[in-house]
Structure 1
């Protein structure tokens, strides 16, 4: 167990404060920016890293870089300027909580919700909703990302973890980096996958022409290794449902990898070329017949069919294995119901 956080000067809106601390044995070997984030409640790691980069931190009287590793007995002095007041504005947005204890919260993120404020999306975000529901969350990720340990794309639904303290945030972030969090997604994909299961190992980097897309880039300097395992769940005529287990966490990883093997996610605007499907289009695709005329133009899905269904990990504090699950959202369930009710012989389960 970590020792309790030290008493730190509280952030002030109008003056610089000095923080002095002697490194303990428990802090030996830690990066100074990470250690300060644990010691100083009310200051984010991003903010503290900039303070150190700007020369505001000294160890035994010598200015250091954020990557400096601490040693027992060293004395830290930090001049702390007022932190910026640029956190998300609290908004009374209802959230469905899948799990909560004194350390962690798991939220069932609905499709269409942006995780944190950014250009063009300053309101209606998960961060704004969290700021309303919780008075205190971790600030390791910076003021605009209170408690948010990882992220999901705007139109991806499902489980997302939120940390109440900096200690649990750093511990969970390390677990994600070390691939000790098992992630399971559910996707409805276009196409007939040849294999019932496989592992896709292809590096992902920025798309050469479109700034909002990623692509398979084997020799690009910004490419990073990416690995995705999948298991076919049900097969239909031209549509396949799959359980997906990403072993790395690259931007758009599942969407890029499934597209690479010829099975882009249904209604994926970027990688499948369409952003919605009507009941009529779905009927014609899998049953080669018309639905009732009154329902032909009814849109049944207007976002990519990807859902973060399950996270499994060992709780950093209780050391107990924890599995958090999110039920399939109504829009994806509607598509499944149509697929399963088609007039053909029925899906083949694998």
Structure 2
């Protein structure tokens, strides 16, 4: 199944026993589980060259291959979706994106995206309908929550995009990670590119990698099993934080692509079940700072962790004594 939209994923030992539709949805972040099931049912997905049902349980060493159908022409219809707005004026809007929301339309996500919500809330975006992603300056993965800025006019879109390109935008994240780093802070400098085996993943072992740098600071830890890290993106590669933390042995809790399923089971102090219950990758865009595209004023916004992440931190606190007690930023 070579060609446009083709994919090929080896089934690693940690994915053994995983349902085919769940496995595919995790490996194709832009594809919903329901759309993955449709692809499988239509025969576009093969396991070791044979079609299978969505509920088929995978075995280690198998190969899942297939292809995505050609994208349909984008149709952006305004939808009345509630947004958690941190700031808004005539030029831009800053929101707290909830986990589970896709930023822009993609295969399997023809509605319910941030773009659809913005078109309903911000009529001026109508003028940017010619764009593939009207108003979108940067994005967060579907299951990453946090602060995100969107432009309301072409001039603001261009100026904000220039700031992201020049790296003058400051992006700080919070992540729950497996294990506890040996130091209190540090910087990960490992180049990132496409994984040499799984082309849908990113890797520090890529033959065509680009420089990537992530600063981090330890905020809290729990019985050696997990830690709350504050991270600063110095570069902005795809999946950068998730790839860097996995590379240094502290993958993001709940990460279905770069995490290790056995890491939660091996957690000390009875915390394994708590960590394994994470509903998604525990990564949150906490603080976003940039220059206003019209006035030049430096703006900074903080988006508190959403209930699922705050709740997991509370359960970790209840199960052990956190250290150090720096608290979770509000």
- TM-score of the pair, normalised by structure 2: 0.70
User: Could you say which structure has the larger radius of gyration?
Assistant: 1
Match of 1:155 among 119, 122, 143: 143
The answer as to 2:105 corresponding to 1:117 is yes
Q: For residues 58-207 of structure 1, what are the structure 2 equivalents within 5 Å? A: 86-137=74-125, 143-207=131-195
Indicate conservation of the 8 Å contact 1:116/1:126, yes or no.
yes
Report the Cα offset of residue 312 of structure 1.
1.2
Shift of the 274–129 alpha-carbon distance from structure 1 to 2, 3 Å rule, reads farther
Q: 1:192 to 1:253 in 2, by over 3 A?
A: same
**Cα distance in 2, alignment partners of residues 211 and 156 from structure 1:** 21
Q: CA deviation at 1:288?
A: 2.6
Contact 1:110–1:158 (8 Å) recurs in 2:
yes
Cα distance change, pair 298–328 in 1 and its aligned pair in 2 (3 A): closer
Contact 2:219 2:229 in 1 (8 A): yes
Unaligned regions of 5+ residues in structure 1, if any?
1-83, 291-295
How many Å apart are 1:171 and its aligned residue?
0.6
Q: How many angstroms apart in 1 are the aligned matches of 2:128 and 2:194?
A: 26
Contact kept? 1:138, 1:166, Cα under 8 Å: no
Cα offset, 1:122, TM superposition: 1.2
Kindly indicate whether the alpha-carbon contact (under 8 Å) linking 1:340 and 1:347 is maintained by their aligned counterparts in 2: no
The offset of 1:243, in angstroms, is 0.2
2:229 equivalent among 226, 242, 260: 242
Asked if the contact 1:127/1:146 (under 8 Å) is kept, the reply is yes
* Alpha-carbon distance in 1 for matches of 2:126, 2:186: 37
Question: 1:272 — aligned with what?
Answer: 259
1:252 Cα shift? 0.2
Q: Does 1:287 align with 2:266?
A: no
Task: Give the TM-score normalised by the residue count of structure 1.
Answer: 0.67
Aligned to 1:227: 213
Gaps of 5+ in 2: 1-71
Provide the rounded CA distance (Å) in 2 between the counterparts of 1:343 and 1:217.
Answer: 36
Aligned to 2:319, the other structure's residue is in SS state: coil
Structure 2 contact 251–260 (Cα < 8 Å) conserved: no
Structure of greater relative contact order (alpha carbons < 8 Å, 6+ residues apart) = 2
CA distance in 2, matches of 1:298, 1:269: 13
Q: Secondary structure at the match of 2:215?
A: strand
Structure 1 CA distance for aligned equivalents of residues 316 and 95 of structure 2? 29
Decide which of 284, 296, 319 is 2:296's aligned counterpart: 319
- Relative to 1, partners in 2 of residues 1:89 and 1:311: Cα closer, same or farther, differing over 3 Å? same
Distance 1:299 1:330, change over 3 A: farther
Provide the rounded CA distance (Å) in 1 between the counterparts of 2:112 and 2:195: 28
Alpha-carbon distance, 1:85 to partner: 7.8
CA contact (8 A) 1:236 1:286 kept: no
Q: Deviations over 1:5-60 (max 9, x none)?
A: xxxxxxxxxxxxxxxxxxxxxxxxxxxxxxxxxxxxxxxxxxxxxxxxxxxxxxxx
Q: Is the 8 A contact 2:271 2:316 kept in 1?
A: no
- Indicate if the aligned counterparts of 2:212 and 2:237 stay in contact, CA closer than 8 A: yes
Q: The residue matched to 1:159 in structure 2 has which SS?
A: strand
Deviations 1:262-299 (A, max 9, x none): 00000000011449x8xxx7xx9453389xxxxx8998
Q: In structure 1, how many angstroms separate the alpha carbons of the residues matched to 2:274 and 2:293?
A: 49
Please give the secondary structure, in 2, of the residue aligned with 1:301. Answer: coil
1:72 maps to none
